[in-house]
Amino acid sequence: MNTLARPLPALAAFNARPVMRWSRDETIARAILLVVMVMLFVFLIAPLLTILAHAVQDREGRFVGLTHFITYFQTPSLLRAAWNSIWVSAAVVMISVPTAFVFAYALTRSRMPTPLKAVFRLIALIPLLAPSLLSAISFVQWFGNQGALKFLLGGASIYGAPGIIMAEVYNTFPHALMILVTALSLADGRLYEAATALRTRPFRQFMTITLPSCKYGLISAATVVFTYVVSDFGAPKVIGGNFNVLSVDVFKQVVGQHNFSIGAVVGMLLLVPSIISFVIDYVVRRKLKAQLTARSVPYSPKRRKLADPLLTLFCTVVCGLLLATIGMAIYTSLISLWPYDLSLTLKHYHFVLVESDMADAYTNSLIVAMATAVAGSLIVFVGAYLIEKTRNLGLMRKGMHLMAVLSMAVPGLVLGLGYVMFFNHPANPLNFLYQTMAILIISMVVHYYTSSHLTAVTALKQIDNEFEAVSASLKVPFFKTFLRVTVPVCLPAILDIGRYFFVVSMASLSCAIFLYTPETILASVAIMHLDDAGDIGPAAALASLIVVTSTVVCIAYSLLTRVLLSRTQAWRNLSRG
Amino acid sequence: MDMTDTKFIASPVPASAPAALEIIGVRKDFESFSALRDVHLRVNPGEMLCFLGPSGCGKTTLLRIIAGLETQTSGQILQNGKDVSWLPPDRRDYGIVFQSYALFPNLSIAENIGYGLVNSRARRGGIKARVEELLKLVGLPTSGNKYPSQLSGGQQQRVALARALATRPGLLLLDEPLSALDALERIRLRGEIRRLQKQVGITTIMVTHDQEEALSMADRIVVMNHGVIEQVGTPMEVYEQPATPFVADFVGKVNVLRAVALGNQRFKVGDMELQCDACDGAFEPGEAVNLYLRPEDRAVEHLGDGTANRLRALVTKVEFLGGLCIAEVTADALHGQALGLHFSLNQLHDLDIREGNTIDIALRANRIRAFSARAPKP
């Protein structure tokens, strides 16, 4: 044994294990990441903990254990709200998901003309641009006490469960559709060729190949829809009538009765279904992704004499209904007074933008949406970059990732409630944020953090993992490579994130409902107040303005990115010469 | 056990020569297994060293530890005598080429190559000249303004190489640099990388799982398995004198015959006694051993009565592969143990080697290697 060349193992074991020194780069990276993590902690975790604290304290701050929960469960009217939330959400899932599935099937598996598919798809995504109040207002106009189609209900009332269900089906349809289109586009053409070669009938192919392959997509769509409905506040507020649901209950307890303890209890209850479906969705999405990476031959649908026209008809009907909903809202905003004076007018727009005491609402929303888009995409992308590309982060990576995906599981209403309880406390050094525009922007960034984070992570995973290693070996600081390579390469994803933040914060209500002041009131909140006051016309006008603004931004965005990308992304489309 | 000693004898370096890189007792433990166990290695200045082994043997982990991209659990790494064991990557001195090349897709070829130069505060004119020099060196003098996606895999490879060499590092690390290329390009680039490496004179460590690549390019090969270095030696040494059954099996093709030691370098296989001149290990008579014989280590010409290890073998199968074919033979004397032997196509015709025929062969006594059949100590 050549012992001279080696240190004795026993001796080596005595030395304390040295630690890899961090380079300046790694120290900087960790410092920035720490800032992002502290932000997420302060603006996500701490407010949630505050709700929990309130739920087990009395008004004087004494610990009372589960007293409030017991009170809650002994109050039949409150319990009924929980049950209502659950069954209404389930009903929406049962309608929205199958409809979206057939629609997605038509878009991905039929031989409808491609331009028609594009039009159908665009129409189907419109609900994303509108605040959830819009559909409720529209259904009130169609089926309400003076509704155009009230006779169809045969004496039944739209206010309550039927209205909520209809409005939420409209609101959740594009969410389910996007997930199912993704699931259905993953088809492996070879499976169908093999099945056909084995002379399998089309129906059996559908049952044995198509359905199983989008099992995860269906589960994911169902959980997303369910969570959306449970935590949505806008539609039940407008069209719910006396039909109580959890989300409206939180609002009533806190804003109406200043009962923070019961509000906190309901907030915690709202978290339960969200977190359950979040966990299901999270597990299922991983499996969906595993399917995605498998190598497969794309499926190209064959012409079918019966199915194709039927599917086209179906899509036409659905799109007609979607357009009728948004159309009614826009129409309402343009006429004097339904149903008495149908003359066209812009007075409602003039009212909400100039005369009303909420005239600042639209501008405020624009400012918040733009600031959220800029700040959100910056923070999200930097955060995602640092956890994806910094070595040896250990627990930091796990902690950051957990917080980033957790935000999705927290309904906006609960987040807003947490902010009220946390930042309104006079002892909180961040108290100065309360009642400012800044807190609205922060709540939007945090509330919509997860999907943006996942978009950024996906984009970052697609670029070579060794850029940072190469830079280090060339002694180039990591932030230089970040600015010169990573950001330009990921620019499309970053712009996507910015657009997403703009659109969702433009329409978001539940986050802001606890946080606005008369000076910082947002358009969606103003719509709610206008509707409460019976000003349906102005409410519809403001809702339509939001849709138009988001549409314009989306169009401008696609034009801008096309120009920008052609200038900065020339390297993408070069062929080998 | 003496295996470790043969390993050090096999490397023809006096212990006093300054090593470009010295790895001392490096260990890497992951949660469930050890990727590297007590690895010792000296890398000589200017040599091309290949880490060869199956996937999961720890070769890439070792390279990444040298680069500072992974942290060893224990052990030391000295570069030119300086302890770099715990330095972050950007404080070490090396250039690296990855399997994926990791070229920056949005920067031109010239910008890619000059990426590390900008930082070293060289003057702009100096950078331009250096980039052009490197472009010429890798044979792409006119491609400076193109983007990576416009180049073929092999060309991208060479750009990555130029970028790694640009800052004149003292050590070049290549992580499976050829495995993303198609077969023809791979063979062409082997020669090119080797030429470049010699021209620049840079100490180079290459990781590969392709034994042909290692045999054709390396000055020395480090064969690794299960986190342990099995053998270090020149390609010829590793091929002709494998230190362990694993090396014999992993590098090149090999036949394995079960045998019993008779002492005095003689072994009994079935009914036959084989002479084995090259077996340096001492085996006790009666010990079970495995004899390793490469397919080409058979003689068919000049066979006389005195020729050792002669046998008449029955050809059971001929696998036609082109110029070089494999004949599977067996003999009653071997108790049915089969041997795959190489024959050129011409030999196949001249000696009438066909399925069902018998042939006269001798197993080369100076080529057979014997290893104990007992499981090696962990």
Could you give the CA distance from residue A364 to residue A521 in angstroms, rounded to a whole number?
A: 7
The three-state (H, E, C) secondary structure of A159-214, written as one string: CCHHHHHHHHHHHHHHHHHHHHHHHHHCCEHHHHHHHHHCCCCHHHHHHHHHHHHC
The reply to whether residue A576 touches residue B150, judged by beta carbons under 8 angstroms, is yes
Confidence at residue B1, expressed as pLDDT on a 0 to 100 scale: 39
CA-wise closest residue to B35 among B64, B76, B3: B64
For B101-131, the pLDDT digits (tens) are 899 998 999 999 999 987 666 677 788 999 9
The reply to whether residue B5 touches residue A7, judged by beta carbons under 8 angstroms, is no
Q: Which of B90, B121, B377 to mutate to test the interface with A (most CBs of A within 10 A)?
A: B90
The reply to whether residue B119 touches residue A474, judged by beta carbons under 8 angstroms, is yes
Q: Which two tokens stand for residue B342?
A: 């190489």
The reply to whether residue B8 touches residue A2, judged by beta carbons under 8 angstroms, is yes
The reply to whether residue B25 touches residue A20, judged by beta carbons under 8 angstroms, is no
Residue of chain B whose Cα is closest to the Cα of A570: B106
Alpha carbon of A29: minimum distance to chain B alpha carbons (Å): 14
Q: Which residue has the tokens 């304290």?
A: A57
DSSP state of A252: I
The reply to whether residue B105 touches residue A19, judged by beta carbons under 8 angstroms, is no
Alpha carbon of B303: minimum distance to chain A alpha carbons (Å): 43
DSSP state of B25: E
Q: Does A461 touch chain B (CB under 8 A)?
A: no
Residue A3 has pLDDT above 60, yes or no: no
Q: Across the interface, which of A19, A463, A577 has its CB nearest the CB of B86? A: A19
Confidence at residue A9, expressed as pLDDT on a 0 to 100 scale: 44
Could you give the CA distance from residue B247 to residue A159 in angstroms, rounded to a whole number?
A: 80
The reply to whether residue B116 touches residue A476, judged by beta carbons under 8 angstroms, is yes
CA-wise closest residue to A415 among A437, A442, A436, A379: A442
Residue A290 has pLDDT above 70, yes or no: no
pLDDT band at B23; cut points 50, 70, 90: very high
Residue B49 has pLDDT above 90, yes or no: yes
Buried b (16+ CB within 10 A) or exposed e, A406-433: bbbbbbbbbbbbbbbbbbeeeebeeeeb
What percentage of chain A carries pLDDT values higher than 90?
Answer: 52
Mean pLDDT, chain B, integer: 88
A-B C-beta contacts closer than 8 Å: 130
Question: Which residues from A are below 8 Å from B104, CB to CB?
Answer: 467, 481, 484-485, 489
Evaluate whether ipTM surpasses 0.85.
Answer: no
Number of residues written out for chain A: 577
Question: Which residues from A are below 8 Å from B144, CB to CB?
Answer: none
Structural contact between residues B266 and B26, judged by C-beta atoms closer than 8 angstroms: no
For B81-105, the pLDDT digits (tens) are 899 999 988 889 999 999 988 999 9
Residue of chain A whose Cα is closest to the Cα of B168: A474
Q: Which of residues 554-573 of A touch B (CB under 8 A)?
A: 568-572
Confidence at residue A576, expressed as pLDDT on a 0 to 100 scale: 54
The reply to whether residue A485 touches residue B106, judged by beta carbons under 8 angstroms, is yes
What percentage of chain B carries pLDDT values higher than 90?
Answer: 62
Confidence at residue B229, expressed as pLDDT on a 0 to 100 scale: 95
Residue B9 has pLDDT above 50, yes or no: no
Structural contact between residues B67 and B103, judged by C-beta atoms closer than 8 angstroms: no
The reply to whether residue A475 touches residue B98, judged by beta carbons under 8 angstroms, is no
Confidence at residue B374, expressed as pLDDT on a 0 to 100 scale: 77
Q: Across the interface, which of B105, B116, B151 has its CB nearest the CB of A475? A: B116
Confidence at residue A573, expressed as pLDDT on a 0 to 100 scale: 63
For A116-162, the pLDDT digits (tens) are 999 999 999 999 999 999 999 999 999 988 888 888 888 888 999 99
Residues 6+ apart with CB under 8 A from A458: A493
Residue A546 has pLDDT above 90, yes or no: yes
Can you tell me the mean pLDDT for A538-547? 94
Question: Which residues from A are below 8 Å from B152, CB to CB?
Answer: 576
The reply to whether residue A5 touches residue B67, judged by beta carbons under 8 angstroms, is no
What percentage of chain B carries pLDDT values higher than 70?
Answer: 93
Largest CA distance in chain A: 104
The reply to whether residue A18 touches residue B86, judged by beta carbons under 8 angstroms, is yes
Range of lowest pLDDT (A275-279, A319-323, B164-168): A275-279
The reply to whether residue A575 touches residue B150, judged by beta carbons under 8 angstroms, is yes
The reply to whether residue B24 touches residue A6, judged by beta carbons under 8 angstroms, is yes
Give bridge partners of residue B96 from the DSSP assignment.
B173
pLDDT band at B17; cut points 50, 70, 90: low
For A451-486, the pLDDT digits (tens) are 899 899 989 988 888 899 999 999 898 899 999 999
Residue A79 has pLDDT above 50, yes or no: yes
Residues 6+ apart with CB under 8 A from A205: A192, A195, A196
Q: Which amino acid is at B182?
A: D
Residue of chain B whose Cα is closest to the Cα of A474: B116
The reply to whether residue A25 touches residue B88, judged by beta carbons under 8 angstroms, is yes
For B256-279, the pLDDT digits (tens) are 999 999 888 889 998 888 888 877
CA B304 to chain centre: 37
Alpha carbon of A223: minimum distance to chain B alpha carbons (Å): 35
Question: Which residues from B are below 8 Å from A2, CB to CB?
Answer: 4-5, 8
pLDDT band at A296; cut points 50, 70, 90: low
Q: Does A480 touch chain B (CB under 8 A)?
A: yes
Could you give the CA distance from residue B76 to residue B5 in angstroms, rounded to a whole number?
A: 21
Q: Which of B106, B111, B145, B156 to mutate to test the interface with A (most CBs of A within 10 A)?
A: B106
Residue of chain B whose Cα is closest to the Cα of A18: B86
pLDDT band at B232; cut points 50, 70, 90: very high
Structural contact between residues B53 and B209, judged by C-beta atoms closer than 8 angstroms: yes
Could you give the CA distance from residue B70 to residue B261 in angstroms, rounded to a whole number?
A: 45
Over the Cα atoms of chain A, what is R_g? 26
In three-state secondary structure terms, B226 is: coil
Q: What dihedral do alpha carbons A171, A176, A182, A184 form, nearest 10°?
A: -130
Q: Does A27 touch chain B (CB under 8 A)?
A: no
Alpha carbon of A422: minimum distance to chain B alpha carbons (Å): 40
Residue of chain A whose Cα is closest to the Cα of B90: A472
Could you give the CA distance from residue A178 to residue A101 in angstroms, rounded to a whole number?
A: 10
DSSP string, A481-549: HIIIIIHHHHHHHHHHHHHHHHHHHHH--TTTTTT--TTT--HHHHHHHHHHTT-HHHHHHHHHHHHHH
Q: Across the interface, which of B100, B101, B116 has its CB nearest the CB of A474? A: B116
Mean pLDDT, chain A, integer: 88
For A174-184, the pLDDT digits (tens) are 999 998 998 88
